[in-house]
A and B are shown apart, each in its own frame.
Chain A
Amino acid sequence: MREYLLGNVAIARGILEAGAGVVSGYPGTPSSEIVDYLAPLAGEQGVHVEWSVNEKVAMEVAIGASWTGTRSAVTMKHVGLNVAADPFMTLAYLGVGGGMVVISADDPYCHSSQNEQDSRRYAAFARVPCLDPADPQEARDMTLRAFALSEEFGVPVMLRPTTRVSHARADVLVGPPTKRLAGPRFEKNPSRRVALPVHARPLHSELLNKQAGIEAALEKEPWNRSMVRSEVGVIASGIAGLYAEEAIAGMEAEVSLLRIGTYPISRKVVGDFLEKVRQVLVVEEMDPVVEEFVEMVAKERNPDLEILGKRSGHVPGVGELDPLTVRDSIARMMGLPSRPAPKISPQILSILPPRPPALCPGCSHRASYYAMRKAFGKDAVYPNDIGCYTMGVGMGTVDTCLCMGASITVGAGIRFGGEERPICAVLGDSTFLHSGLTGLLNAAYNGARMTVAILDNSITAMTGHQPHPGAGRTASGQPSPQLSLEDICRSLGASFVETADPYEIDSMIETFERARDHPGLSVVVAKRACVISEIRSGVRRPRLKVDQEKCEGCRICVNFGCPAIEFDGTVAKINALCSGCGVCAAICPQQAIEVVK
């Protein structure tokens, strides 16, 4: 059956077709829709689907499931694999029971990420196979194959889609779900499940000995295919293979093409191709993984080969590729002209106002930042974290953003490094539960004098409103134990913990002032549901308007930065985007903003 599916949904369907019994993950663009799609189906498909509290936890849950003989999958974005790297690396030694697929979605161009790391390097680092789909159909097909490969070689298999695969749609051929296998059981086998040095040494040898077999098996996969047409060739991996195929067809050029879709790359496949060409262009996104391999194999099979790619400057080393860039790289290799760029001058485009992503109208984070800035001042240090709230960077309260959970820890380090000014670290509820807990514990334990603001909107908003333990329900909608962030913070050692509602701006400011003046580690929980969640659950508040007579055009409300507030040159106006939070009315010195009756 053919369906028009998002790449991530095609992966989810592959997981169901493979009969997996456990799927875990932590949300992260571009990976989130896999679990989003599966969670509502968990009951009817008899699959345990969970949003775990972080990627390490998700990986370990999937490993435990695999060790019962149940097929499992774990999803995350590329940087999530850094968090999960510890279990991932040793799992390659210990091996799987039921087939286990690790889905790590890469984000070339950092559409929604803090870096452009290449998960293929991680697969090579752990010495596990990696499948690199070019489109949603390959993503579904590779998911199915990955489970079988995992069982064949007893290792986890990585599936590595990129943004343009995960968020692509295509007509995809899919099959029906398979019922999960009955009767799973954890078999005790310390030599394969207990990573003591005495077990790890022989397991490391075993892992190395598996490599030749893995390479030989992958050699025959349909995703590694060549078309020899001339002595000029292109080797392209993943989605770049599809760009190259289209470019060659569009140019009607006599160019040979080898597409690589699996890792470790087969020496035989590459070597056989290299013998037939005198010049080759290697096209891939992110790291020169294929290019380095080609350089190595060429030494043996075709030492005179001219190799072009990132090192020669023919293919960009950063950002993402697209069909035109690949076409022009091929044209340049062949000495042909590049395709003329459309004639729009930068001067014309410069008339366009920038439209960066922004906090929503009525977002409570904006109010929290406003209150924080009032209490701590512009000179304080504001270590920040990863979430919607990072978009508050224009408000002067985002001084650092490194990785999930790093706000508190970096803030503590800044204090211990000798900084004397007030420090207010900021992170969201989901990020706090992901990896802020340990940082807070460490700050309390080691006596960091600072404030931590947890912007609690009770959801993982940035990635599409996934629940977490603070939301009171699981991914599949089951109720979960009520959690108190305040109790957690006290237990971890914070000596001041207070909660306030950012919409009550005066009391929010006072709370921050008390936290600022506290001589030890203070925590402020700024609690207010995400405005999108509120709208979805039917909350409606009357809108606000500006009394044009009273408005003196001071722009205080305009500078607050809410997209619902505009300035017409003399006075402020409130547009239809207003969600009725009322914060602008509270900060207006003329009391010129009032509720529409």
Chain B
Amino acid sequence: MRTSECDVVVVGVGGQGVILISEIIGRAAMLAGLSVRGVETHGMAQRGGSVINHIRVGCKYSAMISPGSADVLLAMEPAEALRYASYLSPKGVALVNTRPVMPVTVTTGQARYPSIEEILSPLREVACEVKAMDATGLAAKAGSPQATNVVMLGAIAGYLPIEEATLLSALSETVPARFLEINRKAFELGKIEVE
């Protein structure tokens, strides 16, 4: 038996706005009258570390998603997509920003950053569907690379049991008014990209 309507794992690097996306989806779920659970990475890992948030829409249990059961893996960064791919259900979808954020281990030459294909090919074996996009580039097109997370929100919109208009209301409640236009544009570009 399913214990949640839709389980989403949002991953990325501390500072990429992962928490904001979780908050917008959570608020939208509430506006839609659905029970919602989430869990965030705070503290030490926020300093440029690898971060993961869980969001469960239409769920009354804990906020933690089990490995092998996420309906969507929303990745702000490609290496992080693969790092957390084990959360995906065999029927799950991975939405991946292809723009890498280099960890210090790579910039200092201790480790190598794999090619995008090296990341996407095993991901395709785990996920039912992989949609990769240059969300950072799309965000820049919308007006600011800072809006990468909102491009990804637009990308996931069609996979959530929440109306797009409700997501947009939650977005406008959450981001500062002066950035709303850029964010709406970013949302739209992300949505079109997966269509």
Residues of A participating in the B interface, judged by any CB pair closer than 8 Å: 2-4, 6, 29-30, 33, 111-112, 134-135, 164, 167-171, 239, 242-243, 245-246, 249-250, 252, 322-324, 327, 339-344, 348-349, 351-360, 388, 391, 462-464, 555, 558-559, 561, 563, 565-567, 575
Contacts and interface: CB of A to CB of B under 8 A. Distances in A.
B40 interface: yes
Contacts of A462: 43-44, 47
B14 A357 contact: yes
Interface in B108-156: 108-109, 111-114, 118-119, 122, 125-126
B165 interface: no
Contact of A344 (B37, B102, B126): B126
Interface of B: 1-3, 13-14, 22-23, 26-27, 29-30, 35-50, 61-69, 79-80, 82-83, 85-88, 90, 102-109, 111-114, 118-119, 122, 125-126
Given A322-B66, A349-B83, A561-B104, A30 B43 contact: yes
B1 A167 contact: no
A446 to B, nearest CB: 34
A352 B83 contact: yes
A245 B49 contact: no
Nearest to A559: B108
Contact of B48 (A29, A134, A358): A358
Contacts of A242: 61-62
A341 B108 contact: no
A355 B13 contact: yes
Contacts of A555: 109
B39 A355 contact: no
A341 B88 CA distance: 11
B146 to A, nearest CB: 11
B76 to A, nearest CB: 13
10 contacts: A29-B42, A168-B37, A323-B66, A343-B126, A354-B111, A462-B43, A558-B108, A563-B107, A567-B108, A567-B109
A342 B126 contact: yes
B104 A170 contact: no
> Of residues B62, B83, B85, which shows the largest number of chain A Cβ atoms within 10 Å of its Cβ?
B62
Contacts of B30: 2-4, 171
B62 A164 contact: yes
B62 A135 contact: yes
Contacts of B61: 242-243, 245-246, 249, 323
Given A324-B68, A348-B82, A360-B48, A4 B105 contact: no
B105 A342 contact: no
B39 A356 contact: no
> Of residues B36, B44, B50, B103, which shows the largest number of chain A Cβ atoms within 10 Å of its Cβ?
B44
A324 B83 contact: no
Nearest to A576: B145
B66 A170 contact: no
Contact of A566 (B45, B86, B102, B125): B102
Contacts of B103: 353-356, 358, 563
A102 to B, nearest CB: 21
B118 A351 contact: yes
> Of residues B22, B40, B87, which shows the largest number of chain A Cβ atoms within 10 Å of its Cβ?
B40
Nearest to A33: B42
B49 A357 contact: yes
Contacts of A249: 1, 3, 61
A360 to B, nearest CB: 6
Nearest to B44: A112
B47 A135 contact: no
A333 to B, nearest CB: 18
A448 to B, nearest CB: 30
Contact of B114 (A30, A168, A352): A352
Contact of B105 (A164, A252, A354, A559): A354
Contacts of B38: 168-170
A355 B22 CA distance: 21
A351 B113 CA distance: 8
Contacts of A169: 22-23, 26, 36-40, 63
A357 B118 contact: no
Nearest to A327: B66
Contacts of A134: 62
Closest 10 CB pairs of A and B: A112-B43, A29-B43, A357-B49, A353-B111, A324-B66, A246-B61, A169-B38, A355-B103, A168-B63, A112-B44
Nearest to A464: B42
A168 B62 contact: yes
Given A343-B125, A351-B114, A352-B82, A170 B105 contact: no
A492 B26 CA distance: 51
A565 B103 CA distance: 11
A77 to B, nearest CB: 10
A186 to B, nearest CB: 37
A242 B60 CA distance: 9
Contact of B63 (A112, A164, A391): A164
A358 B47 contact: yes
Given A323-B66, A353-B105, A566-B107, A170 B49 contact: no
B62 A246 contact: yes
> Of residues B30, B35, B43, which shows the largest number of chain A Cβ atoms within 10 Å of its Cβ?
B43
Nearest to A321: B64
B166 to A, nearest CB: 13
A373 to B, nearest CB: 16
Given A344-B86, A358-B48, A463 B43 contact: yes
A391 B47 contact: yes
Contacts of A351: 82, 114, 118-119
A464 B47 CA distance: 11
A164 B38 CA distance: 9
A167 B39 contact: yes
Contacts of A339: 66, 68
A111 B36 CA distance: 24
Given A167-B40, A351-B114, A352-B114, A342 B86 contact: yes
